[in-house]
Structure 1
């Protein structure tokens, strides 16, 4: 690996140090260490730093000019989480000659900042003396954000599961213990409550599975021809059957629509979430516009856009950039805050895009666009 001039030329070695030498670049790629996203520190066979890239400067707050030529333990004074000096503890230039390095672990910089450090011992031959110590340094903030996100997810799931499971357990235990004391109508009411709570648990588990697949890039799509207008119509009919006034919904179809190939179940899930948000959190008429549009995918000319808007208070401007994140809730009226995160994942898995804005009537406006995406065997 070649060493950038900014990382090597200006520094002078300590009086007792061998002259710094550029790190090797056996592949001949000519990669500048300053282009690497992680911190890179390289020490020679004498333990003097010969490379200290820009990311290492940023993470450690130590200028390269101060680090180059210094002893490794002085330029990068790491401690483990128990306060022990790391280089004295591991002794990279001594100890067992079969060692190849140190696995990634959390260590502390002066001042207590935590970093992730991986070390590689480069030997000229197996069991030979160490010729290079290559240290990779990564900031822990991204990992901490991920860990916090996972902790929040677990806490939310535990909270959401507790209520329905408590209800299910209470009603079933009561029915088993005192079955003969209840009338048929009372039994039916309790069993209907158990059934509804079981559905709630099932929905939550389905959301968690969707999140897992979205985060890992394993969300499977089974593309079929989808009549998006008919799909929206079915959702509207279901709301009307459940008691919503028919005149609350306005469906506008712009014909002709391109033939859309998508996963019908996933499209239904997207429509269900967006319409539920408009009905529960919005006010006035819920308008659904289905129109042909430019495809969001390169190489395709056409796509289909669906816009769902209402006439409520809308979403505050400061919240617009958080709408599709986990646990965002537009109001305190129930929900896990996972629905729109899943919607975004489904739309993007189809190669589409989704946006949020303010509707002409003042409420929230969600718009997603899907490419035509005919299966390969039909193209």
Structure 2
């Protein structure tokens, strides 16, 4: 199958041995803003007037036709088009024999938008981490310095309160570092999944009990677990992390009853194969439609500030590392009203009486055993 220059996603410019442009594809025209008809047949330095970041003319610096004969290429670098438009440029010098004359100069062009987005994302991550670390580390430093300097002046109760605060802030730093490590592994595709047989209903009940022990009323939660579930093989620690994040979001940012459903489902990647679906929904204000597409991106926090905004990004990475999928939608209160008993007066009653909709997160995991048991 022949590939035409206009099929390429990157700009392609080819000049012959005399330095005249013989190929100028559609992407090159789009990136440079110069028409193909104008470029073809013109000198390379005219069709592609590049400058380096110091304002020096690039083709005069590199001199591809009269420079050292041992050169075969120019590595990719940032250069400027007229008007200051930045592009990524790489070039190859084609010679019919080693150290022979240049027969063709092949130049590729790419926009810098993707790189800029990545750089902005990294900058935002660094700023977020610095902000999140500053508060607990300041607290830890302040309390430990105070205790070391004035230990005898404090009562045992005061010392305990300070040490409990230090311990809580140290845990906060530890969680943030764990999130950063998870993001690094997700972005690089190195997130390891250590599959074991997992009793998902037990995990769900344990997390609900933990919230109740922390002070949430038992009536706030409803679990709906199917009687017969296929054996699930997954990484226990990582699935615990997923459930903890989704339940924490529902409790903290939602209202009314938090419902957790566990049911059999088809595997998301292999139609017909077994899978397990977990749904966590609440009766709060829900997520605006315009924000649905950004829920699983970095730093998304919705309308309420607080936290790093990295939790749902990590959740998505963990689910996908298991070969699963995760989605979010609005959970209509009317749907729940048909299937559940009417709650007593309180937040849940207000949400349901008003027909409010909350957020419904649903992830599906394939249940296949690890390779050594296949």
Quote the Cα distance in structure 2 between the aligned partners of 1:199 and 1:186: 20
State whether structure 2 residue 6 is matched by structure 1 residue 34. Answer: yes
Query: Once the 2 structures are TM-superposed, how far is the Cα of residue 30 of structure 1 from its aligned partner?
Result: 2.9
State whether structure 2 residue 373 is matched by structure 1 residue 378. Answer: yes
Residues 32-67 of structure 1, C-alpha deviations (whole Å, 9 max, x = no match):
222222111111110011111121112112222221
Quote the Cα distance in structure 1 between the aligned partners of 2:289 and 2:367: 32
Residue in structure 2 matched with residue 17 of structure 1 by the alignment: none
Query: Once the 2 structures are TM-superposed, how far is the Cα of residue 378 of structure 1 from its aligned partner?
Result: 2.2
Poorly superposed stretches of 4+, deviation over 6 Å: none
Residue in structure 2 matched with residue 207 of structure 1 by the alignment: 179
| Aligned Cα root-mean-square deviation (Å) | 1.1
Residues 257-305 of structure 1, C-alpha deviations (whole Å, 9 max, x = no match):
1111111111000000000000000001000011111110126521110
State whether structure 2 residue 49 is matched by structure 1 residue 49. Answer: no
Alignment check: 8 A CA contact 1:300 1:371 kept: no
Runs of 5+ unmatched residues, structure 1? 1-28
Residues 308-341 of structure 1, C-alpha deviations (whole Å, 9 max, x = no match):
0001111111111110010000243421100000
Alignment check: 8 A CA contact 1:300 1:372 kept: no
Correspondence list, 1:77-226, <5 A: 77-226=49-198
Query: Once the 2 structures are TM-superposed, how far is the Cα of residue 100 of structure 1 from its aligned partner?
Result: 1.7
Quote the Cα distance in structure 2 between the aligned partners of 1:314 and 1:230: 28
Quote the Cα distance in structure 1 between the aligned partners of 2:241 and 2:6: 45
Runs of 5+ unmatched residues, structure 2? 334-356
Q: Secondary structure of 1:218's partner?
A: coil
Quote the Cα distance in structure 2 between the aligned partners of 1:230 and 1:34: 57
Residue in structure 1 matched with residue 241 of structure 2 by the alignment: 269
State whether structure 2 residue 335 is matched by structure 1 residue 363. Answer: no
Alignment check: 8 A CA contact 1:281 1:331 kept: no
Number of residue pairs matched by the alignment:
351
Residue in structure 2 matched with residue 347 of structure 1 by the alignment: 319
Once the two structures are overlaid, the 10-residue window that deviates more, 145-154 or 51-60, is 51-60
Once the two structures are overlaid, the 10-residue window that deviates more, 31-40 or 138-147, is 31-40
Flag the structure with more relative contact order, 1 or 2, with Cα contacts below 8 A and sequence separation at least 6: 2
Q: Secondary structure of 2:332's partner?
A: coil
Query: Once the 2 structures are TM-superposed, how far is the Cα of residue 31 of structure 1 from its aligned partner?
Result: 2.3
Alignment check: 8 A CA contact 1:120 1:134 kept: yes
Quote the Cα distance in structure 2 between the aligned partners of 1:124 and 1:271: 62
Quote the Cα distance in structure 2 between the aligned partners of 1:366 and 1:60: 44
Alignment check: 8 A CA contact 1:232 1:271 kept: yes
Residues 229-255 of structure 1, C-alpha deviations (whole Å, 9 max, x = no match):
111101001011111111100000112
Q: Secondary structure of 1:102's partner?
A: strand
Residues 202-221 of structure 1, C-alpha deviations (whole Å, 9 max, x = no match):
00000000000000000000
Q: Secondary structure of 2:301's partner?
A: coil
Quote the Cα distance in structure 1 between the aligned partners of 2:45 and 2:298: 42
Give the TM-score, by structure 1 length: 0.91
The 1:89–1:174 alpha-carbon spacing in structure 2 relative to 1, beyond 3 Å, is same
State whether structure 2 residue 291 is matched by structure 1 residue 319. Answer: yes
